[in-house]
Structures are given as structure tokens and as C-alpha cells.
Amino acid sequence: MNPSPPLLDVRELVVRYGAAVAVDRVSFTLRAGETLALTGPSGCGKSSTAAAVLRLRRPAGGEVWFEGRELTRLGERELRPLRPAMQPVFQDPYGSLSPRQRIRAAIAEPLRVQGRWDAVTGPARVAELLETVGLDPAHGDRLPHELSGGQCQRAGIARALASDPRLLVLDEPVSALDPSVRAGILNLLAGLQERRGLGYLFISHDMALVRHFADRTAEMRAGRIERIV
């Protein structure tokens, strides 16, 4: 029997900004339920790799296979139905939510955009997502600036989960948070992964954190992966 394909299989990925090569033939795989960390110094190409995987930026070369499909040659229309399955969580919890949108509406938005909103099941789904990330129902009525950084990051995770993703691309998800709330977010992520079999591409410059949290770590330098341990 053939083993199932990896969740994500990145082959010889190249990202350029004009003539500058930010990501230089980077390859790695990620399985469902696994965390692969991308680490390395500022400017080594971690976020550019993430952006190319999510197709927020079109790669200049290489292939990105997601659940057995090659994405780099797909147009925006072909990508659209695949996008919900791969969701980003960014460093700045406030920046990833609209400042004038209440948390409940922010979590509901992916359901509406994807045509999965239903007047009966929709609100219940949002309530369930709030609970899943450890927020009270009352937090749903607030604006992002009325939440703490940790609560806001939980809301961002709930919004990502609304799309029923299989892959989360976590770009420095706890770096902007107080050390005292980091563990809570990391425990939440670990629990979600265990229950849902999510794959995590986890970007962090914090080697101690990565050693603790990731199954494998790809060490990047100057656009290349030097080793995966």
C-alpha cells in the first residue's frame, strides 16, 4: 500500500524580490499532525517561504504540493477552493483582525465568504469556536482593542479554524505576546493539533521555543535551509 502523500511537500522553492533571491531552492515536507519549525536570523527568508506556501506571493521557481496537488501553476480561480485549507496566523494579533469588526463577526466572516453561513448553525458554530480557543461568549461582542494580546491571538486562531484548515502557517505567533501568556497560546495550539491532526509550519527565531514545540526544525540562513533536525 502506498503511504499517503505528505500534507505539504515543498520542492526547490525560490522566491525573488526583483533581482534579489530571498528563498533559494528550499525543500521540506510536513505531515498531518506534525510541526515543522522554520528558524534562523532576521532576513533569512522564513516569512517569504511562508508567503509562497500560502501563495500570498507567487514563487519564482519550485513546486508546492498540498494534499497531493501542485499549487504553483494554479491560477487564482483554481486556488480559491483550496485556500481555506491552509490558514495563516500572524505575529501581530491586532493587525490580523479588522479594528472596527467585532470578534464574533470576524470569526463568522470566513463562513460567510465560503458560503457556509446558515442563520441557525452559524451563530452556534461561532460560539463553539470561541469556546474552542478558550474565549468567553462575551468576548465575541468586543472589538479587537478591547481584548488583551493573548485573547486577540486566540480570536485570530478561532477565525483561522472557521475555515476548517488542515495546515496552519504560524508566523511568530507568540513573539508579540507577554511571556506569561505565551504558554497558554502554545498549549492551545498543541491541543488543537492533537485533536484535529493539523499540520503546523511554525516560524520562529526563538531556538529554545522551537526545540520545545516542534517535531523537526529547519534551520535557514541566507535563503537556504542549512539542515533539518
Ligand X SMILES: Nc1ncnc2c1ncn2[C@@H]1O[C@H](COP(=O)(O)OP(=O)(O)OP(=O)(O)O)[C@@H](O)[C@H]1O
Spatial distance between the Cα atoms of 139 and 206, rounded to a whole number of angstroms = 30
Judged by CB under 6 A, the residue of 12, 17, 98, 113 near ligand X is 17
Nearest to 38 by CA among 184, 227, 189: 227
What is the pairing mode between strands 199-203 and 216-221? unpaired
Q: Which is nearer to ligand X, 20 or 120 (by Cβ)?
A: 20
DSSP 77: H
The correct pick among 6, 8, 45, 104 for binding ligand X (CB under 6 A) is: 45
Tell me how far apart the alpha carbons of residues 157 and 125 are, in angstroms, rounded to a whole number.
Answer: 14
- Contact residue for ligand X among 13, 26, 31, 46 (CB under 6 A): 46
Considering all CA atoms of the chain, what is the largest pairwise distance in Å, rounded to the nearest integer? 53
Residue 47 in the binding site for ligand X (CB under 6 A): yes
142 binds ligand X (CB under 6 A): no
Q: How many angstroms separate the Cα of 5 from the Cα of each of 2, 19, 31, 78, 85?
A: 9, 34, 8, 21, 16
Report how far Cα 159 is from the mean position of its chain's Cα atoms.
11
Distance CA 101, CA 110 (A): 13
CB of 217 to ligand X, least distance (A): 14
Contact call for residue 88 and ligand X (CB under 6 A): no
Binding of ligand X by 180 (CB under 6 A) = no
205 binds ligand X (CB under 6 A): yes
Q: Does 217 help bind ligand X (rule: CB under 6 A)?
A: no
Minimum distance from CB of 205 to ligand X (Å)?
5
Q: CB under 6 A: which stretch of 14-22, 64-72, 93-101, 129-137 binds ligand X?
A: 14-22
Of 4, 43, 69, 124, the one binding ligand X (CB under 6 A) is 43
Residues making contact with ligand X (CB under 6 A) = 17, 20, 22, 40, 42-48, 205
